[in-house]
């Protein structure tokens, strides 16, 4: 399966298993979603289980929170993560706080799906990576898959979780892996040769908060998630450095044990994410590594990220943190004295 099919399969499996699961959002019903992730669900499960909503992100999330408080398991879609900000107050003030403020009497089992990230010439309003503003909010989980197998398993785990989850889908990976080289011939997931494209048709979970070691290594630890996992693989190959690559899968909850064990082994750490550098989640990762691995570090922690500016259209590949920038950081880390 490609990632679109894997996500569609996850929704279908959960709607079949649990009549309380429902899907709604802008164009997700009859049209099947702008990226076709919900295609066929309305026809199969009916108009009350998969339906269209008005163009009102705050209303979509507010309605979903109410549904969750009454025992349903809504999976609303925000068409692009760039447009989730009108719903931010509902997510922060209501969804994230409901369990605490009701002393456990109510919860908000809402899984908010939304495509995020660049690499598609979407410009500043269809390319942003807002994960850090959600990771900062106590009570929200933030999940980011990098391949079809994880996408399905993580989405199922998110829906089955009784806490609100922000499920960020790297849209550059919907149809195939992307290694950060726009001039390369693109491969679809079925032609990629990657085991992560082999997706079971039935129910399975990938646990939240458990990172994956994509590549073992001894010289540097690279921390990445989403599209940047594949960019990191390319940068490691280009650098010639024996780097260990960790796909975080979720940033809240965070698998700090896997990170700590790897950095204590390699003695070096490079963090890669697509979002702007200042205030990005890489800063939190850097602080956590510093606090837990200070006596093991042999070089300064480095962060490779998007620049602190609006996401450009014409100069997308200058902004995009590609494999060349990562390779330079890896070589700098191992050469540091």
- Point out the catalytic residue in the list 126, 230, 296, 313: 126
Residues 178 and 74 in one domain: yes
Among 197, 222, 240, the domain-final residue is 197
Q: In what order do the strands lie in the sheet with 250-252?
A: 50-52, 21-25, 73-77, 111-116, 165-170, 141-143, 250-252
Q: What is the pLDDT of residues 19-69, one digit of tens each?
A: 999 999 999 999 999 999 999 999 999 999 999 999 999 999 999 999 999
Q: Please give the model's pTM, rounded to 2 decimal places.
A: 0.97
313 domain residue, yes or no: yes
CATH number at residue 175: 3.40.50.970
Using CA atoms, how far residue 316 sits from 127, 255, 282, 307, in Å, is 10, 31, 21, 11
Question: Around Cβ 284, how many Cβ atoms within 10 Å?
Answer: 17
Give the end-to-end CA distance of the chain in Å, rounded to a whole number.
Answer: 46
17 domain residue, yes or no: yes
CATH number at residue 267: 3.40.50.920
pLDDT at 337: 87
* Tokens describing residue 310: 């609006």
Residues 113 and 139 in one domain: yes
Identify the residue whose tokens are 């837990």.
292
Residues 303 and 160 in one domain: no
pLDDT at 207: 98
Q: How far apart are CA 229 and CA 163, in angstroms?
A: 26
- CA-closest candidate to residue 24, choices 48, 52, 63: 52
pLDDT at 185: 87
Using CA atoms, how far residue 6 sits from 89, 257, 311, in Å, is 30, 28, 28
Q: Which helix (H) or strand (E) holds 288?
A: helix 281-293
Range of the domain at 112: 3-197
pLDDT at 34: 96
Among 171, 197, 223, the domain-final residue is 197
3-state SS class at 53: coil
The total of structural domains in the chain comes to: 2
Residues 159 and 272 in one domain: no
264 domain residue, yes or no: yes
Q: How far apart are CA 143 and CA 82, in angstroms?
A: 16
Residues 136 and 226 in one domain: no
What is the block-wise mean pLDDT of the chain (337 residues), using blocks of 10 residues? Answer: 98 98 97 97 97 97 97 98 97 97 96 96 92 97 98 98 98 96 91 94 98 98 98 97 98 98 98 97 98 98 96 92 97 95
* 10 in Cβ contact with 64 (< 8 Å): no
Residues 181 and 229 in one domain: no
Among 197, 222, 253, the domain-final residue is 197
* 144 in Cβ contact with 97 (< 8 Å): no
pLDDT at 4: 98
204 domain residue, yes or no: no
219 domain residue, yes or no: yes
Q: How far apart are CA 220 and CA 146, in angstroms?
A: 21
206 domain residue, yes or no: no
Which contacts qualify for 304-307: CB closer than 8 Å, 24 or more apart? 304/270, 304/271, 304/272, 304/273, 304/329, 305/271, 305/272, 305/273, 305/274, 305/275, 305/276, 305/277, 305/280, 306/118, 306/129, 306/273, 306/274, 306/275, 306/276, 306/277, 306/280, 307/276, 307/277
* Tokens describing residue 187: 């491969």
* Tokens describing residue 76: 């609303």
136 is known as an active-site residue? no
Residues 227 and 186 in one domain: no
Q: Which helix (H) or strand (E) holds 284?
A: helix 281-293
């Amino acid at each position: 399966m490609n990632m679109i099919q894997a996500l569609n399969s996850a929704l279908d499996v959960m709607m079949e298993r649990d009549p309380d699961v429902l899907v709604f959002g802008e164009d997700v019903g009859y049209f099947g979603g702008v990226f076709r992730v919900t295609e066929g669900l309305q026809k199969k499960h009916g108009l009350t289980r998969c339906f269209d909503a008005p163009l009102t992100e705050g209303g979509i999330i507010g309605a979903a929170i109410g549904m969750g408080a009454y025992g349903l398991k809504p999976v609303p879609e925000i068409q692009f993560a760039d447009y989730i900000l009108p719903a931010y107050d509902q997510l922060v003030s209501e969804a994230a706080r409901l369990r605490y403020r009701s002393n456990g009497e109510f919860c908000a089992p809402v899984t908010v799906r939304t495509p995020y990230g660049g690499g598609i010439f979407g410009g500043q309003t269809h390319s942003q990576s807002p994960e850090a503003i959600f990771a900062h909010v106590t009570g929200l989980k933030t999940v980011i898959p990098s391949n079809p197998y994880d996408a399905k398993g993580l989405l199922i785990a998110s829906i089955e979780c009784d806490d609100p989850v922000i499920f960020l889908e790297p849209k550059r990976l919907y149809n195939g892996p992307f290694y950060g080289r726009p001039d390369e011939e693109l491969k679809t997931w079925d032609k990629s040769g990657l085991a992560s494209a082999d997706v079971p048709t039935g129910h399975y979970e990938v646990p939240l908060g458990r990172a994956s070691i994509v590549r073992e290594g001894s010289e540097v630890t690279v921390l990445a998630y989403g599209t940047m996992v594949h960019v990191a693989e390319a940068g490691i190959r280009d650098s010639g450095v024996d780097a260990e690559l960790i796909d975080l899968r979720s940033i809240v909850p965070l698998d700090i044990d896997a990170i700590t064990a790897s950095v204590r082994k390699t003695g070096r750490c490079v963090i890669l994410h697509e979002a702007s550098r200042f205030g990005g989640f890489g800063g939190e990762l850097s602080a956590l590594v510093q606090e837990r691995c200070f006596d093991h570090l042999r070089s300064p922690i480095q962060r490779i990220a998007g620049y602190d500016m609006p996401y450009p259209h014409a100069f997308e590949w200058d902004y995009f943190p590609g494999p060349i920038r990562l390779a330079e950081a890896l070589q700098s880390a191992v050469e540091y004295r």
